Amino acid sequence: MSDKTILLITGGNTGIGYETVKELLSSPVPYTIIMGSRSIDKAKDAISTLTSENPNSKSEIVPLQVDIVDDESIDQAYKEVESKWGKIDILVNNAGMRRASFDGIMQQKPGAAGIREAWQTSYSVNVTSTQVMTTIFMPLLLKSSTPRLLFVTSGLSSLTTCSSGLISAMQRPNPPAGWPKPFEPSHITYRSSKTALNMMMLYWNRLLKEDGVKVWCISPGFLATGLGGVGKEVLKKFGAGDASIGGEFIRKVVEGERDADVGKVVNYLNREHGVQPW
């Protein structure tokens, strides 16, 4: 069994997940970082780059094939982690589909079929699959003496923010009266799934209170991750920050800087209070 802190992150080979692994490698805290990825080859490529850039790191990275929408893949990943380490200390639920992916489905398939596919896909990936992943790996997390459970959510998940009229990173006027309404990238499926994820976090926080598990949702802000089919440069033109901001923020939560805010949606951008409104 490793004497390092064992951290499993899903979707660790790209975007915010990749930047999180990069941040952990540069930390003085020694980790065994289990990089979950749908593609083991992509994980290995990412690890090769990261380790070459951080040759003196106290941490190690190990690839793990896991597709959170595939129950057999999750079961196999559990068996592998259990056999090699017997526990995990930190689970970072980062994998998911983001933003424009679901709007794109509705554009490509107008009508009921497209709506149904977009909503079902959104909840399957961002909610149901995350719940399955967390549930299956919970026995290993509860074997840790310092267990932490993180869910990566979004600023778009806030009901308070939505009630003020903000539908995306940009404020838009209300559409004109009449039907059908003109298409706009409202991200309604994505943001609804992340609101559900926030509720899931509250459930786990209550469920695991007596087990001493520290639980959060992480809202890293509007970042240019390259996911969702839009492209990093386009997102940066609209004010998106670099994905490394998310990686740094998650590392800080992992290493205890937000322990006073357990059970909340902690927000990188809200520097005054650091907590995203529900």
Q: Are 96 and 121 in contact (CB under 8 A)?
A: no
Catalytic residue among 18, 31, 190, 268: 190
Task: Return the amino acid letter for 113.
Answer: A
Packing angle of the helix pair 71-84, 129-141 (nearest 10 deg): 20
Which residues, listed in sequence order, are joined to residue 90 by a DSSP beta bridge?
A: 7, 148
Q: Are 97 and 228 in contact (CB under 8 A)?
A: yes
The DSSP 8-state label assigned to residue 218 in this structure reads E
87 is catalytic: no
Catalytic residue among 154, 168, 192, 193: 154
What is the C-alpha to C-alpha distance for residues 231 and 247, in angstroms, rounded to an integer? 19
Encoded tokens for 83: 């056999």
158 is catalytic: no
Chain centre to alpha carbon of residue 123: 14
Pick from 72, 96, 51, 73: nearest CA to 227:
96
What is the C-alpha to C-alpha distance for residues 185 and 151, in angstroms, rounded to an integer? 24
Find tokens 């499993």 and name the residue: 8
Q: Are 169 and 223 in contact (CB under 8 A)?
A: no
Catalytic residue among 194, 214, 264, 268: 194
18 is catalytic: no
3-state DSSP assignment of residue 175 = coil
Which of left, alpha, beta for 187 (phi over 0: left; psi -120 to 50: alpha)? left
List residues with catalytic annotation. Answer: 154, 190, 194
